[in-house]
Amino acid sequence: MLSHLNKDGLPEMVDVADKAVTTRIAEAECTVVLGEAIMAELGANGFSTKKGSVVQTAVIAGTMAVKQTWSVIPLCHALDISSVKFDVQGEGAGAMKVKCKVKTAGRTGVEMEALHGASVAALTIYDMCKAMSHAIEITDLRLVSKTGGKSDYQAD
């Protein structure tokens, strides 16, 4: 049975009241394929555009998204987030890798928060660069790892 469906098959928030409070960490990542020309232009300008710093703006937007995941994904719990860390790096000549790591001490995991943070950071990079091209792609959004709950996970 899916965890977000009740016995009648209707959507329902998972009851986590009886779960133990543990330290829970999740990391998600995705790739923003900008193309070599945009990456070269960004590199020449210190990864800034007329809108400001691409990386710093993406980190701020991603952090805000992590903290608001509960308001966007209907059955997510509002969580007390302990830490959000981003790593945004060049990935070859034409792309950027966005990694988001989220930590909490709670009764439920932070996978959705990490995925939401990475995706919004990537969307912010798109927004900051779309004046140079609309052919930008956001690819390979995935959960990399999670620890601290009933079952840990590590991607291959």
Distance CA 108, CA 104 (A): 9
Distance CA 7, CA 20 (A): 24
Q: Which of 127, 140, 152, 156 is catalytic?
A: 127
The answer to whether residue 152 is catalytic is: no
Nearest to 58 by CA among 94, 4, 7, 97: 97
Expressed in angstroms, the distance from the first to the final Cα of the chain is: 26
Task: Classify residue 43 by burial, with Cβ atoms within 10 Å: 0-12, 13-18, 19+.
Answer: exposed
Which conformational region is residue 102 in: left (phi greater than 0), alpha (psi within -120 to 50 degrees), or beta? beta
Spell out the alpha helix ranges (H) of 28-110: 36-44, 54-67, 69-72
Residues marked active site are found at 127
